[in-house]
């Protein structure tokens, strides 16, 4: 440092002193470029334990249920759902921010004009002065160290992440619609079953009344049957309330005006399609839009850290101006002035602003990294959990079928024994009620199997969202 000062003080070294000062500025900036190192990114496991096939493609999985009603509901929601409209607006906002940042790649040009009029009156004479001076000024920063490029690239990555957020929201909406529709169809199927049971119970009640009149049945048998019938009707009221609530949920998810607009008519659950190929956990990095979005935000945070570190480096800017001068308001300007200048600036003392910004950017990068790692392992957990739940639910459904078969046989023989007088009616009505409850539970069990399948589809990710329209009708009008 002492030698540098001595060199700068020698006479006749003006040009060399300027060059040496520039080198000193550059080196002082480069000495501060190195930022905190990033922690390592953990790798996902190699397989789920169920299958190891890779390269899977998950299309519009709800179409596998082969329901035109469900297809129509999902298509309507993907167009009009409020959450998706919000996500589309966020995407447009991110796109505008990225385009705004790219303006720094171009020079800025400003126009200015000054006009003045002055009149001076004395006793002997009166004078007036007119002056017009328009000017143009331009400035441009040369991106020597790709500092501007790093900031623009960070916003580009943020825009891509917003696109993936929209895709993730679409996956969520499709799953919400499908789950609500499965619950609705199951509730309607249960209501239809309850109506059938009610009619059967009413016939049994009439038979019991006749048997009671003839002295064959007891009065308690009649009231036991009537009690069972009222229990069925009570369940039907609850199912009707559940159906109304589910229809209202679908109205909200599709942004429809009322339930009549939805035209909901299906009353039986579809056939469960074959299980999809789960692939390997590494596929989730590409197939899950939420994981992809987290990865893009991590990349954006790295670029932001790069831009923050380059604040230490000198900035080279060029400016020019052209001005005219006229002594009247005519358009003939004979006096003009042109100026061209270059400016090199570098931070010397800023109170620690740049250093703290680097630390903040490094912390934001680490935050994004941990969020990305967490999203990867959360995705793997969701796939594993969906596989486990579906596997055990299938086993439970098979057991329900066996129980249902045994319960029907028990009711058949209990009715025979009651008619033969070897069994009382209480035993028969208990078995009959148990059978009807099992039939209701079988529908609920089957619908739960569908919902676990939907969870698996959602957890595996998709490829269909790449075709998703990013614009709403309002957004399309604004972009034209």
Task: Return phi, psi of residue 219, to 5°.
Answer: -65, -35
pLDDT at res. 11: 53
Q: Is residue 400 part of a domain?
A: yes
Q: Could you tell me if 144 and 313 are in contact, meaning their C-beta atoms sit under 8 angstroms apart? A: yes
Within a 10 A sphere around the Cβ of 17, how many other Cβ atoms? 15
Convert the pLDDT of each residue in 424-463 to its tens digit: 777 888 888 888 889 999 999 999 999 999 999 999 888 8
Q: How far is CA 360 from CA 240, 300, 366, 446, in A?
A: 56, 14, 10, 51
Return the CATH number at 298. Answer: 1.20.1600.10
Q: Is pLDDT at 301 greater than 50 in this prediction?
A: yes
| DSSP for residue 426 | H
The structural domain count of the chain equals 1
Biggest CA-to-CA distance, the chain: 141
pLDDT band at residue 10 under the 50/70/90 scheme: low
pLDDT band at residue 31 under the 50/70/90 scheme: very low
Q: Is pLDDT at 332 greater than 60 in this prediction?
A: no
Q: Could you tell me if 213 and 41 are in contact, meaning their C-beta atoms sit under 8 angstroms apart? A: no
- Spatial distance between the Cα atoms of 245 and 233, rounded to a whole number of angstroms: 19
pLDDT at res. 282: 80
Q: Alpha helices, DSSP H only, in 254-352? A: 259-262, 284-287, 289-309
Contacts (Cβ under 8 Å, ≥6 apart) of 476: none
Q: Is residue 70 part of a domain?
A: yes
Percent of the chain at pLDDT exceeding 90:
43
Which three-class secondary structure state does DSSP give residue 324? Answer: strand
Q: Is residue 209 part of a domain?
A: yes
Rounded mean pLDDT of 16-33?
Answer: 48
Q: Is residue 104 part of a domain?
A: no
Rounded mean pLDDT of 301-329?
Answer: 85
pLDDT at res. 203: 86
Q: Is residue 130 part of a domain?
A: no
Q: Could you tell me if 287 and 462 are in contact, meaning their C-beta atoms sit under 8 angstroms apart? A: yes
What angle in degrees, to the nearest 10, is found between the helix axes of 68-80 and 147-213?
Answer: 140
Q: Is residue 453 part of a domain?
A: yes
- Of 211 and 235, the structure prediction assigns the larger pLDDT to 235
pLDDT band at residue 321 under the 50/70/90 scheme: confident
pTM for the whole structure: 0.81
Q: Is pLDDT at 473 greater than 70 in this prediction?
A: no
Q: Is pLDDT at 307 greater than 90 in this prediction?
A: yes
Q: Is residue 134 part of a domain?
A: no
Q: Is residue 155 part of a domain?
A: yes
Q: Which residues constitute the domain of residue 71? A: 47-90+146-309+352-479
């Amino acid at each position: 440092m002492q030698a540098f000062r001595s060199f700068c003080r020698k006479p006749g070294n003006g040009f060399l002193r300027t060059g040496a000062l520039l080198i000193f500025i550059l080196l002082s900036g480069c000495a501060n470029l190195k930022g905190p190192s990033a922690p390592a990114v953990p790798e996902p496991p190699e397989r789920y334990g169920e299958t190891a096939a890779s390269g899977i493609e998950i299309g519009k999985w709800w179409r596998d249920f082969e329901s035109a009603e469900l297809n129509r509901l999902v298509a309507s929601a993907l167009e009009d759902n409020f959450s998706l409209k919000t996500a589309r607006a966020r995407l447009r906002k991110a796109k505008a921010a990225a385009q705004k940042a790219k303006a720094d790649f171009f020079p800025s040009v400003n126009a200015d004009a000054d006009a003045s009029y002055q009149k001076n009156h004395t006793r002997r004479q009166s004078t007036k002065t007119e002056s017009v001076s328009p000017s143009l000024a331009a400035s441009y920063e040369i991106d020597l160290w790709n500092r501007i490029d790093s900031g623009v690239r960070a916003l580009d990555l943020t825009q891509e992440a917003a696109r993936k957020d929209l895709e993730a929201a679409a996956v969520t909406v499709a799953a919400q619609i499908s789950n609500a529709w499965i619950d609705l169809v199951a509730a309607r199927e249960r209501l239809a079953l309850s109506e059938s049971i009610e009619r059967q119970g009413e016939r049994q009640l009439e038979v019991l009344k006749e048997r009671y009149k003839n002295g064959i049945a007891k009065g308690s048998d009649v009231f036991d049957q009537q009690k069972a019938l009222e229990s069925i009707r009570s369940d039907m009221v609850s199912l009707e309330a559940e159906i109304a609530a589910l229809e209202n949920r679908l109205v909200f998810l599709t942004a429809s005006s009322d339930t009549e607009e939805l035209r909901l008519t299906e009353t039986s659950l579809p056939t469960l399609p074959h299980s999809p190929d789960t692939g390997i956990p590494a596929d989730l990095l590409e197939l899950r839009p939420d994981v992809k979005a987290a990865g893009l935000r991590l990349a954006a945070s790295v670029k932001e850290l790069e831009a923050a570190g380059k604040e230490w480096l000198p900035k080279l800017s060029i400016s020019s101006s052209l001005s005219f001068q006229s002594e009247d308001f005519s358009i003939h300007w004979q006096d003009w002035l042109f100026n061209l200048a270059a400016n090199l600036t570098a931070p010397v003392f800023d109170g620690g602003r740049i250093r703290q910004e680097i630390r903040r950017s490094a912390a934001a990068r680490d935050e994004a990294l941990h969020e990305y790692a967490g999203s990867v392992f959360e995705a793997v957990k969701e796939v594993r959990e969906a596989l486990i739940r579906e596997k055990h639910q299938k086993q439970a459904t098979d057991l329900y079928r066996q129980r249902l078969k045994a319960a029907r046989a028990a009711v058949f023989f209990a009715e025979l024994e009651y008619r033969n007088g070897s069994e009382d009616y209480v035993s028969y009505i208990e078995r009959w009620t148990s059978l009807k409850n099992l039939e209701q539970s079988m529908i609920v069990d089957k619908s739960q199997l569908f919902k676990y399948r939907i969870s698996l589809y959602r957890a595996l990710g998709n490829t269909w969202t790449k075709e998703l329209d990013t614009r709403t009708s309002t957004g399309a009008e604004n972009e034209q």
